[in-house]
Each structure stands twice: as structure tokens, then as C-alpha cells.
Amino acid sequence: MKAKITVTPKKAVLDPQGKTVQTALEHIGFTGIKDVRIGKYIEIELEGTDREAALKSISQASHKILSNPVIEDYSVEIE
């Protein structure tokens, strides 16, 4: 199994990276960009086949270690 976790800065929280990249994209000619947010993408290769259990444990891990709940949100997908 593979777990895919995306971690993104919370909406209300400043995302300096996103802002800077947005400006850079505009500068090199990409138009029509309203907003850029930059987060993390984590892929975890798991043993076993119990997807339910995996979802539960990975969600827990996301909350505890993979994300910083004070400033970030996360979402988990098991594949």
C-alpha cells in the first residue's frame, strides 16, 4: 500500500513561498494566476493490506508528525 499525504499551509496563515513563486511565475510570463500555495507532499510505502487501518494510523501520524497542526492542514489518501 501507499499513503499519499498533502500538507498545506492553513488559509489564514501567510505563505511566503507561495507569494514569491506567484510573482516569479508572472515574471517569466505565466499569466492568469490568482494564487499559489506551497505545501509538502509525502509518500509512505506501507506493508500490509488493511486500508482502513492504514488510513487511521497515517491520519494520526499526519497530525502528530507529518504536519504542524498550528499552521498546516493535511489530507491523506491510501492507494
Partner 1 sequence: MTKDPAITPELVAQHGITPEEYENILKILGREPNYTELGIFSVMWSEHCSYKNTKPLLKQFPTRSKKILVGAGEENAGIIDIGDNLAIAFKMESHNHPSAVEPFQGAATGVGGIIRDIFTMGARPICAMNSLRFGNLSSPEVQRLFRGVVGGIAHYGNCFGIPTIAGEVCFDDSYEGNPLVNAFCLGVLRHEQIARGAAKGIGNPVFYVGPATGRDGLAGAAFASQDLTEASAEQQRGAVQVGDPFMEKLVMEACLELLAAKDAVAGIQDMGAAGLTCSTCETAARAGTGIEIELSKVPQRATGMTPYEIMLSESQERMLIIVNKGHEAEVQRIFDKWDLPWSEIGVVTDTGRMVVKNHGQVVANIPAAKIANDSPVYHRDSKEPAYMQGVRAYRVNSLSDTTSPAKDLEMLLQTPTIASKNWVYRQYDHMVRDGSVVCPGSDAAVVRIKGDSLPMLPDGAAESVPAGIEKFIALSVDGNGVYVYLDPYEGSKTVVAECARNLACSGATPLGSTDNLNFGNPHNPELFFQLKESVRGLAEACAAFNAPVTGGNVSLYNQNPMGAIDPTPTLALVGLIEKKEHITTQWFKDEGDVIILLGDAVDSADPNLGLGGSAYLMAKHDVKNGLPPRCDLKKEKAVQDLTLECIRSGWIKSAHDCSEGGLAVCLAESCFSKNVALNTPVFKGAKIDLSGVKSSRLDALLFGETQSRVVVSTSADHAEQVLAKAQASSVPATVIGKVTGCCKAATLDITTATASTLSWSIPALHSLWWNALAEIMD
Partner 2 sequence: MNFSVLQFPGSNCDQDCVHVLKNVLGHNARLLWHKDTSLGDTDAVIVPGGFSYGDYLRTGAIARYSNIMAAVKQFADRGGLVLGICNGFQILCEAGLLPGALIRNKGISFRCEFVWLRTGNPDTPFTCKAPEGTLLRIPIAHGEGCYFADAETLKQMEENGQILWRYCDRHGNTTPESNPNGSLLNIAGICNAQKNVAGLMPHPERASEKILSGHDGRILLESMVQFLENRKRS
Q: Site residues (CB under 8 A) for partner 1?
A: 9-10, 12-16, 19-20, 23, 68, 70-71
Q: Which three cell numbers stand for residue 62?
A: 499526519
According to CB under 8 A, which residues from 8 to 67 bind a second copy?
A: 8, 18, 21, 24-25, 28, 30, 32-48, 57, 61, 64-66
Instruction: Give the one residue of 38, 44, 55, 61 binding partner 2; rule: CB under 8 A.
Output: 38
Q: What gap in Å lies between CA 53 and CA 47, rounded to an integer?
A: 11
Task: Collect all residues with Cβ–Cβ distance below 8 Å to 5 and sequence separation of at least 6.
Answer: 40, 41, 42, 43, 44, 58, 62, 66, 67, 74, 75, 76, 77
Q: Which three cell numbers stand for residue 47?
A: 506493508
Residue 52 interaction partner, one of partner 1, partner 2, a second copy, none, beta carbon < 5-8 Å per kind: none
- Count interface residues toward partner 2 (CB under 8 A): 18
Instruction: Give the one residue of 2, 11, 21, 49 binding partner 2; rule: CB under 8 A.
Output: 21
